[in-house]
Amino acid sequence: MSKMVLKRKVYAKMLEWKEKYAPEYALFIKGARRVGKTTIAEEFGKNEYKSCITISFQSANDTIRDLFVNSLLDLDYFFNVIQMQYRTKLYPRESLIILDEIQLYPLARQALKTLLADGRYDYIETGSLAGITKKTKKADILIPSEEYSIEMFPLDFEEFLWAMGDEVTVDIMREHYQKCKPLNQLHRDILRKFREYMCVGGMPQAVVAYAEDKDFEKVDFAKKEILALYQNDIKEQEEENSQYVGSILENIPSELSRHDSPNAINTFTLTHIDKNARYREYSGALHWLTEAMIVNVARNITDPSPALTLSMDDDRFKCYLMDTGLLINLSFGDGSYMDNDFYRAILTDRLHINEGMFVENVIAQCLRTNGHKVIFYVEYDKQGKMAMEIDFLIRIDRKIVPIKAKSGKQYTIKSLLKFKEKFNNKVGKQYVLHEGDLRVEGEVVYLPYYMAAIL
| Average pLDDT, integer, range 259-266 | 52
Q: What is the pLDDT of residues 360-376, one digit of tens each?
A: 999 999 999 999 999 99
Q: Is it the case that residue 262 has pLDDT exceeding 50?
A: no
The whole-number pLDDT of residue 263 equals 47
Closest of 149, 137, 132, 120 to residue 27, by C-alpha: 149
Q: Could you please report the per-residue DSSP string of 200-213?
A: H-S-HHHHHHHHHH
Q: Residues 109-114: what's their mean pLDDT?
A: 95
For range 224-230, the mean pLDDT: 95
Residue 382: its pLDDT value, please? 84
Q: What is the pLDDT of residue 260?
A: 42
pLDDT, position 271: 72
Is residue 340 very low, low, confident or very high in pLDDT (cuts 50, 70, 90)? low
Could you tell me how far CA 421 lies from the centroid of its own chain? Answer: 33
Stretch 153-162: mean pLDDT: 98
Range in 88-92, 271-275, 417-421 with the lowest mean pLDDT: 271-275
Which pairing describes strands 312-321 and 295-301: parallel, antiparallel, or unpaired? antiparallel
Q: How confident is the model at residue 261 (pLDDT cuts 50, 70, 90)?
A: very low
CATH 3.40.50.300 domain extents, the chain = 10-151
Q: How far is CA 413 from the centre of its chain?
A: 28
Q: Mean of the pLDDT values across residues 94-112?
A: 94
pLDDT class for 350, splitting at 50, 70, 90?
low
pLDDT at 52: 98
Average pLDDT taken over every residue of the chain: 89
Instruction: Provide the percentage of residues in the chain whose pLDDT is more than 90.
Output: 68
Predicted confidence (pLDDT) at residue 89 exceeds the cutoff of 60: yes
Phi (first) and psi of residue 449, to 5 degrees = -65, -15
The rounded distance, in Å, linking the Cα atoms of 350 and 211 is 22
Model pLDDT, residue 2: 61
Residue among 121, 117, 123, 50 at smallest CA distance from 92? 121
Looking at per-residue pLDDT, the higher value among 316 and 135 belongs to: 316
DSSP 373-408: --EEEEEE-TTS-EEEEESEEEEETTEEEEEEE--S
Specify whether the CB–CB gap between 105 and 12 falls below 8 A: no
Q: Tell me which residue of 210, 182, 153, 222 sits closest to 453, measured CA to CA.
A: 153
Which helix (H) or strand (E) element contains residue 67?
Answer: helix 62-70
pLDDT score for 15: 98
Q: How confident is the model at residue 172 (pLDDT cuts 50, 70, 90)?
A: very high
The answer, yes or no, to whether residue 259 has pLDDT greater than 60, is: no
Task: Give percent of the chain with pLDDT exceeding 70.
Answer: 90
Question: So what's the pLDDT on residue 346?
Answer: 60
Q: Is the dihedral of CA 95, 101, 102, 108 positive or negative?
A: negative
**pLDDT of amino acid 76:** 98
**Cα maximum dimension of the chain:** 72
Q: What is the pLDDT of residue 121?
A: 98
pLDDT, position 384: 78
pLDDT in tens, 17-64: 999 999 999 999 999 999 999 999 999 999 999 999 999 999 999 999
Superfamily of domain 10-151: P-loop containing nucleotide triphosphate hydrolases (3.40.50.300)
What angle, rounded to 10 degrees, do the helices at 242-256 and 324-332 form? 90
Residue with more model confidence, 245 or 138: 245
409: confidence class by pLDDT, cuts 50, 70, 90: confident
Tell me how far apart the alpha carbons of residues 193 and 89 are, in angstroms, rounded to a whole number.
45
